Amino acid sequence: MMKELKLVISDIDGTLVRSDKSLSEAVVAAVQRLRAAGVMFSLISARPPSGMEWIARKLGLSAPIGAFNGGTILSGDGMMRCAAHLPRDVAQDVLDLIERPGVVPWLFADGLWHAARPDHVHDPRERASAHVEPIYGADVGALMGVVDKIVAVVDDPVLMAQVEEQVGQVVAGRATVVQSQSYYLDVTALAANKGDGVAALAKACGVSLDQVAVIGDQRNDLAMFARAGLSIAMGQGPQAVRDAATHVTLGNDEDGVAHAIDTILLPLLA
């Protein structure tokens, strides 16, 4: 059991925000109650910084936050502290491998979102998350040294399993490969995973990992569940994620983060 709570780190999509990507006033108010009680609050997400900064501002956060699954750490003022990029050969291997029917490749680099072609199902959702417009059909060769994340967008679960297995085998020991959503396979630098990310955020905040609570909903959150002193899974998350957590809260559309703050985290301070 956690002895002393000093820092809470929350995932964003499927966790802090609702399915329509909105941040509810109930969640904002609950985060303020937690901070007023002396607990720091931070964010970690597969999103790029552009999709996180408005949330940090609305919550009034001063702690560092982690973008690209923790591969990029930003100070409370939005300045970049460090960034882990995919090696050139890894990025090229991944792009070559996921260039196939049924897969839409995305590449994030230098603050831009490059997509091989339009995807009318997922592009609007990503616009709302990333707060940037996609660039279609660009030559990404010049970006190979500064790639933050490659995403394979796959709607077919069987194909997704095949792609995840094949990419994982090709880049084993050279990159992190994990689903951030059932239809997104993220490939980031080896150190760009939420386990190392929460460790970096804890260090930046001057606390130990056993003083950290984390909240998430997807498979990419399992790495931080394994490192933090306390973990909370969202109620709508996959069973394997809920099973791995210390606690389970309500779903994100029921403001589960607010519920977790009021029923799980704040009582730890009593």
CATH topology of domain 88-189: 3.30.1240
Residue 142 pLDDT: 82
The answer to whether 7-83+192-269 and 88-189 have equal CATH topology is: no
Residue 2 pLDDT: 73
**Which stretches of the chain drop beneath a pLDDT of 70?**
1
Q: Which phi and psi angles does 32 have, rounded to 5°?
A: -65, -35
Domain ranges of the chain: 7-83+192-269, 88-189
List, in sequence order, every residue forming a beta bridge with 146; answer none if it has no partner: none
> C-alpha distances in angstroms, 233 versus 11, 30, 62, 151, 252?
10, 17, 24, 24, 10
> C-alpha distances in angstroms, 157 versus 129, 163, 183, 222, 261?
22, 10, 8, 20, 34
Token pair listed for 197: 């990310």
Residue 1 pLDDT: 57
Q: Which phi and psi angles does 87 have, rounded to 5°?
A: -60, 150
> C-alpha distances in angstroms, 87 versus 74, 149, 207?
21, 11, 31
Residue 147 pLDDT: 96
- Cβ count near 227 (within 10 Å): 19
CA 227-228-229 angle, 5° bins: 130
Residue 116 pLDDT: 87
**According to CATH, what is the number of the domain 7-83+192-269?**
3.40.50.1000
Tens digits of per-residue pLDDT, 157-197?
999 999 999 999 999 999 999 999 999 999 999 999 999 99
Token pair listed for 87: 């090696």
Dihedral through CA 193, CA 195, CA 199, CA 205, nearest 10?
A: 80
CB hemisphere CA count around 72 (13 angstroms): 26
> C-alpha distances in angstroms, 81 versus 106, 153, 199, 205, 249?
25, 29, 14, 13, 32
Q: Whole-prediction pTM value?
A: 0.93
